[in-house]
Amino acid sequence: MTDPLHDRDTAEAALERVFRAVGPYLDALPERLVHDRSADRLLDELGGPLPEKGLGSLDSVDELLRVGTRAATHSTGPRFFHLVVGGATPAATAADWTASLLDQAGGLQISSPLAARVETVALGWLKELFGLPASYGGVITPSATLAHVTGLACARTWWGDRHGVDVAGQGLAGLPAMPVFSSGLVHPTSRKALQVLGCGRDTLRTFARDDAGRVDLPALEAALADLDGAPAVIVGNLGDVYAGECDPLDAFADLAERYGAWLHVDGAFGMFATLSPRTAHLAAGVERAHSITADGHKWLNVPYDCGFSFVRERAYQTRTFGPWGVSYLPEADGRDPDYNTLGPESSRRARALPVWATLRAYGRDGHRAMVERHLDVADHLGGLLDAEPDFELLAPPQLCIVSFRYRPEGVAEEHLDELNSRLNEAILRDGRVYVGNATYRGVRGLRCAIVNWRTTREDAELLVRVLRELTAELAGRA
């Protein structure tokens, strides 16, 4: 096999191979190990020298399926709790295949009116889902990190205006550091965005009243007042990764209005709190933010990778990321914009297709039902662990996060961190469930994130059974 032109008649057959693998793979997910370490040896079989003469589509797809279905981390299944990672709903998976089939250049209206229209509709539906004003601008990004870059870059443009400088055109040279304030709940991706934007990750100052990171509002207000009218950015956090804690966004919005600040909200998974009457109060005030970040490959359960950025004034997006100003890239003329002038990407996959499909397939009611079920599973897991004599919750379950640690009787406090690290390693080696280590409030424990559309109470119960088995083995070796 040489020129791909000679391989064109195999496209349907290659896709057929993948299609035939779908049923057996998905059907086996409930019984599969989340990760089978014994299959890691297969990864070496994907390497070797680059073939001089290609082996063809069918052979290559067969090899990838042979290794991939065995050696992959099966995070699309119901028991991957390690990171805040959803799976991919049936509608989203099929639409993602469609995105690959159509292979649209999704940044320009002229290159794909389809991609532009689907993104416009999907963003409108997301604003309805989250209760955001329809007037907000938006863009789909590869991740929450790039969504933070989008929102905070717009904040940087706004901040430059207040110093009389067009930052997009002239840069930051000669300007003071942009003040950025947050609580102790702030996620590293917000700092990373500031790092990428040239503002400096370490310029962000946090104000916390306790070791959980909850905000010290008087201290935050005092810092804003000390600026004596100079502009600043406040980062609010809707769902931290350790305990699901949320900043009081209404109070943050009040401070932003009082001191003329820009409010940016990190709602990577916490934006979905707006869907349930049980948790909507946690998001009160998010609709007053100037920019908002959310993730699609978390609680929306669309394939990697997908994030969202919403900006109150779309003009800041256009000024920050566009226009191109070259003749071969004409500006959009119509109701759908060129999305590569509203965010950091120029070459853009049509990520909106799976977002549109899953929202259309399940609607508001379906997504609310999924969130409600995950809240129930988190509460159920918390109750099971609370009833276990050798485990303690590190915080009450909030949203989809359950953090806990193994604390058997008779083990000295100074040995518990190492014991919990050993337990986590045993869980990952076992592979039936996947749980992550985390240090919260100064102690080492384990953390579960429950966002996969397949996850039910039975998966939480299996996790507890696995914990009992593995801790018994650890105790036997002690």
Radius of gyration of the chain (CA): 24
Q: What is the pLDDT of residue 323?
A: 85
Q: Is 335's pLDDT higher than 70?
A: yes
Burial string for 340-361 (b: 16+ CB within 10 Å, else e) reads bbbbbbeebbbbbbbbbbbbee
Give the whole-angstrom CA distance, residue 102 versus residue 106. Answer: 11
Q: Percent of the chain beyond pLDDT 90?
A: 94
Helices (H) and strands (E) counted in the chain, each on its own, are 13, 11
Give the whole-angstrom CA distance, residue 174 versus residue 167. Answer: 11
**Strand partners of residue 406:** 391
- How far, rounded to the nearest angstrom, does the alpha carbon of residue 309 sit from its chain's CA centroid? 12
Question: Cα–Cα distances in Å, from 235 out to 139, 207, 265, 295, 466?
Answer: 19, 11, 6, 17, 39
pLDDT in tens, 83-98: 999 999 999 999 999 9
pLDDT in tens, 389-409: 999 999 999 999 999 999 999
Q: What is the pLDDT of residue 6?
A: 84
Q: Is 476's pLDDT higher than 80?
A: no
Q: How confident is the model at residue 5 (pLDDT cuts 50, 70, 90)?
A: confident
Least confident interval from 188-197, 202-211, 241-250, 331-340: 331-340
Give the whole-angstrom CA distance, residue 393 versus residue 34. Answer: 24
Q: What is the pLDDT of residue 192?
A: 98
pLDDT in tens, 448-464: 999 999 999 999 999 99
Task: Give the pLDDT mean for 133-151.
Answer: 97
Q: Which of 30, 144, 37, 4 is CA-nearest to residue 83? A: 144
pLDDT in tens, 204-244: 999 999 999 999 999 999 999 999 999 999 999 999 999 99
Q: Is 417's pLDDT higher than 80?
A: yes
Half-sphere exposure of residue 463, counting CA atoms within 13 Å on the CB side?
A: 34
Q: What is the pLDDT of residue 273?
A: 97
pTM for this entry: 0.96
Q: Is 353's pLDDT higher than 70?
A: yes
Q: Percent of the chain beyond pLDDT 70?
A: 99
Decide if 106 contacts 351 (C-beta within 8 A).
yes
Give the whole-angstrom CA distance, residue 153 versus residue 421. Answer: 38
